[in-house]
């Protein structure tokens, strides 16, 4: 688990939802919504001339595939007036055993911030600990904070303030789920997680919830979890780096979000999924394509939420 102790000097890293308190999360969401509205204005001829990151360079390192994270960070940085450099782990000397710490020291002499997608969470923490510039977690095996900031924004756009509301998770207690768990504590909402016992949340995360007085319920029954919830969330049964595909499919079959499960949620409940979706597995076509689905807004909101993160990391918010 990450903590504010990850902050090196005054450098603002965004490695986990726990790096920012509830007030800062609210500030990030407000800025994201303001910038989203400004872009919509641009589409109608009102110029969005504010370029707070002019002259700044973001290095993006991807050790795993990405569609949304890669494109939304690239476009977001350009909209803020900055530029990006796209790198993959395999083309860097990292692949020839240069340490992540030395890589951090060198990158800090060239660019203004780094966004990295690397499954090994500790390596990303190590990168941040040795960087004199902000590091943003673009997904590790343990968390996906940029995704969940966009999800919080999406919930609030559709349903109003999330504080005190009920959200349900059905499926693997994976990286996205972990960031939702952290968000529930930081933002003060109820989260009901339903997962097979073999794929439940890590004990360290459960202890942290308890120690921080969070209202997060860990169970195994998806129907109980979604009963009366205003938002139902699911994700892939097999995440990047998972190898036990057949076992996971068998364990997670009962956690599929379909019309029957959605009918147990509150009236007007929304469905969220970080994408990419595996239709017919964790979610059925009628749900993801139906009127309750918020998944395309979620994908769009990655762009706006990450612009707020970039501004915060670079001291412009």
Active site amino acids? 117, 144, 147, 235, 274, 302
Q: Which residue has tokens 């994700």? A: 235
d(CA 234, CA 271): 8
Q: Which residues contact 92 (CB under 8 A, 6 or more apart)?
A: 61, 98, 103
Q: How far is the CB of 311 from ligand NVA (least distance, A)?
A: 23
239 interface partner picked from ligand NVA, ligand CP, none, CB below 5 to 8 A per type: ligand NVA
Q: How far is the CB of 54 from ligand CP (least distance, A)?
A: 26
**Under rule CB under 6 A, residue 84 binds ligand NVA:** no
Segment 129 to 158, residues that bind ligand NVA, using CB under 6 A: 139
Q: How far is the CB of 161 from ligand NVA (least distance, A)?
A: 26
Nearer to ligand NVA, 68 or 165 (CB): 68
Segment 264 to 293, residues that bind ligand NVA, using CB under 6 A: 274
Q: Which of 1, 33, 6 is nearest to 317 (CA)?
A: 33
Task: Note the Cα 301 to chain centre separation in Å.
Answer: 11
Residue 274: count of CB within 10 angstroms of its CB: 26
d(CA 2, CA 185): 14
Q: What does the binding site for ligand CP look like in residue numbers (CB under 6 A)?
A: 66-69, 139, 147, 274-275
128 interface partner picked from ligand CP, ligand NVA, none, CB below 5 to 8 A per type: none
Q: How far is the CB of 146 from ligand CP (least distance, A)?
A: 7
67 interface partner picked from ligand CP, ligand NVA, none, CB below 5 to 8 A per type: ligand CP
Q: Do 148 and 138 form a contact (C-beta atoms < 8 A)?
A: no
**CA separation (Å) from 136 to 54, 141, 167, 204, 299?**
19, 14, 26, 22, 18
What 3-state class would DSSP assign to 191? strand
Q: How far is the CB of 289 from ligand CP (least distance, A)?
A: 18
Nearer to ligand CP, 131 or 146 (CB): 146
Of the candidate spans 91-99, 181-189, 231-239, 254-262, the one that interacts with ligand NVA by CB under 6 A turns out to be 231-239
Task: Note the Cα 143 to chain centre separation in Å.
Answer: 7
Residues lying near ligand NVA in the complex (CB under 6 A)? 139, 174-176, 235-236, 239-240, 274
């Amino acid at each position: 688990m990450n903590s504010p102790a990850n902050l090196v000097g005054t450098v603002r890293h965004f490695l986990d939802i726990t790096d920012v308190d509830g007030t800062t999360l609210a500030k990030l969401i407000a800025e994201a919504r303001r910038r989203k509205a400004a872009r919509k204005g641009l589409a109608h001829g009102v110029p969005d001339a504010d370029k707070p990151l002019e002259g700044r360079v973001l290095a993006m390192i991807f050790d795993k595939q990405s569609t949304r994270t890669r494109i939304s960070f690239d476009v977001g940085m350009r909209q803020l007036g900055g530029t990006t450099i796209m790198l993959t782990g395999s083309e860097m000397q990292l692949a020839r055993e240069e340490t992540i710490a030395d890589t951090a020291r060198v990158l800090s002499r060239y660019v203004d911030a780094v966004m990295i997608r690397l499954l090994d969470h500790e390596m990303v923490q190590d990168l941040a600990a040795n960087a004199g510039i902000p590091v943003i977690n673009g997904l590790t095996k343990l968390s996906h904070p940029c995704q969940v900031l966009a999800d919080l924004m999406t919930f609030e756009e559709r349903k109003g303030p999330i504080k005190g509301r009920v959200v349900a998770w059905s499926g693997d207690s994976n990286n996205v789920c972990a960031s939702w768990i952290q968000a529930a504590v930081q933002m003060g909402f109820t989260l009901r997680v339903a997962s097979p016992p073999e794929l439940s949340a890590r004990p360290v995360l459960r202890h942290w919830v308890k120690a921080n007085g969070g209202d997060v319920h860990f169970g195994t029954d998806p129907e109980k979890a979604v009963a009366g919830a205003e938002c139902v969330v699911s994700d892939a049964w097999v995440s990047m780096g998972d190898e036990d595909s057949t076992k996971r499919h068998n364990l997670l079959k009962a956690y599929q979000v379909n019309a029957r499960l959605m009918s147990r949620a509150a009236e007007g409940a929304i469905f969220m999924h970080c994408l990419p979706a595996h239709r017919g597995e964790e979610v059925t076509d009628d749900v993801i394509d139906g009127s309750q689905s918020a998944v395309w807004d979620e994908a769009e909101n990655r762009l706006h939420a990450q612009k707020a993160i970039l501004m915060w990391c670079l001291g412009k918010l």
